[in-house]
Structure 1
C-alpha cells in the first residue's frame, strides 16, 4: 500500500513541477540494479522505461487511482518545505495553490488550508503588491506572508523526512 502512496506523491509533485520524472526513473533504476529480479515489481520495469513526463504521469495516475491524497499531499508539502530555498515566495505560493487545486477532496484539511493560504497571499499582493508610498509597510506584509507560508509548510516536514528513508517503495 505504501508504494501506491508514493505513486500519488510523485504524481502530485510532478504536476506542480517540483519533482521530476527523471528523478523517479533514476531511483527506480537504482532499485532495480540493487534488488534480486524476483523481488522487483513488474511495474518498475515499465516505469523505468517511461520516456517522458506525460507517459510517467499517465502511469502514476493509473497506479495511484483510489489512493487517499491527504498523505501524499502532506509529503509533497514537506518536500516543498525542504526545498523552499529553490523558490521565491511567490513561486512557493503558486505551487501550494496548485497542490490545493489538484486534490479531489476540496473540503479536506490540507486543501482548505492551502487554498486559504493562497487566497490570503493573493489579497496581500493585490493591496501591497502595487507601488506604495509606504514601502516599509509593504515589505513587512510580504515578509509576514513568507513567514506564514514557511510555518505552514514546516508542519509537513516530518512527512518528507519519512519519505527520504526510502522505505516506502519496498513495503
Structure 2
C-alpha cells in the first residue's frame, strides 16, 4: 500500500476520533526502532515528535495532499466496523457521519451510504422517539436501523484487515 494512502487513512481516523494520535506515534516509533535507518523517511521522526493532535493532523494533511480518499475511507469504515463494540449506536452514527462529511467527493460510496443511513436513523428517531408511539415498535425500528449501519460497516471489514497488517516500509 502506498505510504500516502496510509497518511490519509490515519488523518481520517484521527479526525473522527477512531484512532488517537498516541496510537499513531506508538506505531511509528515501533517502525523506527525496527527498520534500518536508511529506510526511515524523515517525516516519521517529525510525526513521532508531534506535540499534539493539531500538529499531527496538519502534518498528515500536508503529506496526503492530492491522494484519492476512496481507499482510505474504506479502510477507516472497516476499522470502525472492527471497533464497533466499543461504541453505542449513537456514537457509531456520529463517527460514520463525520467520515462521510470529511470526504471531498460527496458522491463517493462511503459518503453516500453513511449519509443515507444517518438520515434514515434521524427520521426514525423523530418518528418513533415520540412518547405517543409504542415502545416495542420504536425499539424494533431503531434496532433495524442499527443493524443496517452494522451491515454497511461490515462491507468494509476486508479493507481494515489489510491495514492491520500493513508495514510502513511498503
| Other structure's SS at 1:50 match | coil
Gaps of 5+ in 1: none
How far apart in 2 are the matches of 1:133 and 1:155?
33
RMSD (CA atoms): 1.0
Question: Does 1:83 pair with 2:83?
Answer: yes
Q: Is the 8 A contact 2:121 2:145 kept in 1?
A: yes
Counterpart in the other structure of 2:73: 73
1:123 Cα offset (Å): 0.7
Aligned to 2:138: 138
Q: Which runs of 5+ in 2 are unaligned?
A: none
What displacement does 1:8 show? 0.5
Question: Paired residue for 1:103?
Answer: 103
Aligned equivalent of 2:119: 119
After TM superposition, give the deviation of residue 114 of structure 1 in Å: 1.1
Q: Deviations over 1:79-107 (max 9, x none)?
A: 01000011110110111111100000011
Q: TM-score, normalised by structure 1?
A: 0.96
Aligned length: 170
Q: Does the Cα contact within 8 Å between 1:93 and 1:118 map onto a contact in 2?
A: yes
Structure 1 counterpart of 2:12: 12
Q: Is the 8 A contact 1:16 1:99 kept in 2?
A: yes
- After TM superposition, the runs of 4+ consecutive aligned structure 1 residues lying more than 4 A away are none
Indicate how the Cα distance of structure 1 residues 118 and 133 shifts in structure 2: closer, same or farther if over 3 A, else same.
closer
